[in-house]
């Protein structure tokens, strides 16, 4: 049996899950077809991914396909306790509650591995690290795994490069129907949702500084501009910086941007993006938040060190009064603002991400034993299937190439 915060919240959590189901037509369609085929029959799946209403739909889909499931969250502040209670009530082995200590966080992951998984599902690769480290005895039973997020894929690639990754892992993050939608439109909306819930500030007329112009940064800049903000981008990658400039954003080093910003959002996956010197040069009232997976981008410890005093001023919003008298507001302790201060990405976009998760698990169950240890891409066919199902659910028809057009594309002898 698992461990959650409060079993009495199960009925509320169940309603949230039903709401998410009504917004996730692709995953629900796959649930229908794959549960009939019992695609994952007899397999044990350990998962480590934010416990939200959307994740609950995925977990129950995996179970409906015949698998036994054990689950934990992948961030100490992102678990929705009512959803965890609903999953627990439906018999899922779940170890998750909001506000975990670092020790409890890893304890929860370890409990999910005790089922002896055949498949692992990660968001940030903490489960993969745990099974390759402290709980290596479970490695021989693993057929394969999946990874949901950008930084997790970076890390397992690093493991694979050193020959340390002992089973095949599919980089779900890198599917086009994942990263071009979830990372862009999902984070674009949910990060701003988190900032607004924690502050209720007006974006119009503000200087919003977005650190990082990858998929996630692009989404946040797009939606901030849509709300009437003046957007400044900071980057280390010259191509991304150029992209941002050509989209019409101001590009500056963080040392300069720090003096101008009203609202800061980090989206780099790298540590020490906003440090003490930046906090000290910010304007009075600046709001600082992070949309990257780990809470390493904003140096919250430095804020504690350089502040005269600090207090919680609203939910997920801490006021730091610096020695120069300026007040800086740090949201959600520098943790993922979209999941800690809001509900994560909307169901409609998680629909595609989790369809990719399910299809990747299905592929591993069939082909995993013959796949080499290392990082594997999702297929073009899978992207096409997910996109087609999504378009169908939206009632959108598209054109089809004629045979002549197909021949034309393939004919290298055709000139001008």
Residues of this chain that bind ligand ADE (CB under 6 A): 49-50, 52, 54-55, 186, 190, 339, 344-345, 350
What are the angstrom distances between the C-alpha of 142 and each of 43, 48, 106, 124, 166? 10, 15, 20, 18, 9
Q: Closest distance between ligand ADE and the C-beta of residue 129, in Å? A: 19
For ligand ADE, give the closer residue by CB, 265 or 339: 339
Q: Closest distance between ligand ADE and the C-beta of residue 23, in Å? A: 11
For ligand ADE, give the closer residue by CB, 292 or 344: 344
State the CB neighbour count (10 A cutoff) for residue 341: 26
- Residue 126, helix vs strand vs coil: helix
d(CA 215, CA 217): 6
What are the angstrom distances between the C-alpha of 281 and each of 226, 253, 328, 335? 27, 13, 10, 22
Q: Closest distance between ligand ADE and the C-beta of residue 263, in Å? A: 20
CA 122 centroid distance within chain:
10
For ligand ADE, give the closer residue by CB, 153 or 339: 339
State the CB neighbour count (10 A cutoff) for residue 1: 9
Q: Closest distance between ligand ADE and the C-beta of residue 178, in Å? A: 11
Specify the length of the chain in residues: 416
For ligand ADE, give the closer residue by CB, 22 or 405: 22
Q: C-alpha angle with apex 364: 362 to 367, nearest 5 degrees?
A: 110
For ligand ADE, give the closer residue by CB, 9 or 59: 59
Q: Closest distance between ligand ADE and the C-beta of residue 88, in Å? A: 17
Q: Residue 117 is encoded by which pair of tokens?
A: 């998984």
- Residue 263, helix vs strand vs coil: strand
Give the position of tokens 């201060």.
Answer: 341
Closest residue to ligand ADE, judged by C-beta, is 344
d(CA 361, CA 367): 10
For ligand ADE, give the closer residue by CB, 303 or 337: 337
For ligand ADE, give the closer residue by CB, 249 or 354: 354
Q: Which of 151, 193, 184, 146 is nearest to 168 (CA)?
A: 146
Q: Closest distance between ligand ADE and the C-beta of residue 49, in Å? A: 6
Q: Closest distance between ligand ADE and the C-beta of residue 14, in Å? A: 17
């Amino acid at each position: 049996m698992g461990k959650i915060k409060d079993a009495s919240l199960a009925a509320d959590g169940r309603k949230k899950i039903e709401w998410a189901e009504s917004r996730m037509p692709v995953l629900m369609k796959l649930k229908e077809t794959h549960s009939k085929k019992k695609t994952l029959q007899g397999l044990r799946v350990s998962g480590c991914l934010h416990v939200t209403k959307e994740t609950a739909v995925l977990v129950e889909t995996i179970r409906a396909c015949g698998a036994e499931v054990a689950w934990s969250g992948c961030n100490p502040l992102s678990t929705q306790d009512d959803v965890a209670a609903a999953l627990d009530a439906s018999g899922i082995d779940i170890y998750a509650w909001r506000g975990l200590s670092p020790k409890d966080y890893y304890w929860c992951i370890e409990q999910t591995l005790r089922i002896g998984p055949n498949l692992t599902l990660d968001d940030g690769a903490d489960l993969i690290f745990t099974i390759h480290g402290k709980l290596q005895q479970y490695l021989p039973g693993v057929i394969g795994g999946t990874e949901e997020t950008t930084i997790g894929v970076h890390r397992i690639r690093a493991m694979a490069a050193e020959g340390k990754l002992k089973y095949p892992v599919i980089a779900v993050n890198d599917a086009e129907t994942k990263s071009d939608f979830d990372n862009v439109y999902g984070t674009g909306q949910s990060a701003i949702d988190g900032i607004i819930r924690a502050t209720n500030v007006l974006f119009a007329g503000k200087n919003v500084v977005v650190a990082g112009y990858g998929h996630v940064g692009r989404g946040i800049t797009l939606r901030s501009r849509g709300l009437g903000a003046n957007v400044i981008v900071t980057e280390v990658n010259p191509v991304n910086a150029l992209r941002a400039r050509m989209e019409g954003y101001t590009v500056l080093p963080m040392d300069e941007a720090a003096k101008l910003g009203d609202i800061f959002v980090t989206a780099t996956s790298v540590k020490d993006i906003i440090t003490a010197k930046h906090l000290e040069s910010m304007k009075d009232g600046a709001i600082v938040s992070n949309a990257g997976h780990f809470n390493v981008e904003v140096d919250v410890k430095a804020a504690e060190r350089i502040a005269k005093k600090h207090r919680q001023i609203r939910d997920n919003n801490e006021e730091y009064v610096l020695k120069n008298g300026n007040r800086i507001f740090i949201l959600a302790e520098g943790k993922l603002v979209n999941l800690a201060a809001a509900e994560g990405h909307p169901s409609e976009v998680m629909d595609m991400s989790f369809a990719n998760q399910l299809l990747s698990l299905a592929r591993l169950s069939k082909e995993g034993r013959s796949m080499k240890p290392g990082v594997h891409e999702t297929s073009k066919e899978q992207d096409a299937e997910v996109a087609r199902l999504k378009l169908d659910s939206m009632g959108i028809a598209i054109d089809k190439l004629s045979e002549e057009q197909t021949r034309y594309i393939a004919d290298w002898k055709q000139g001008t």
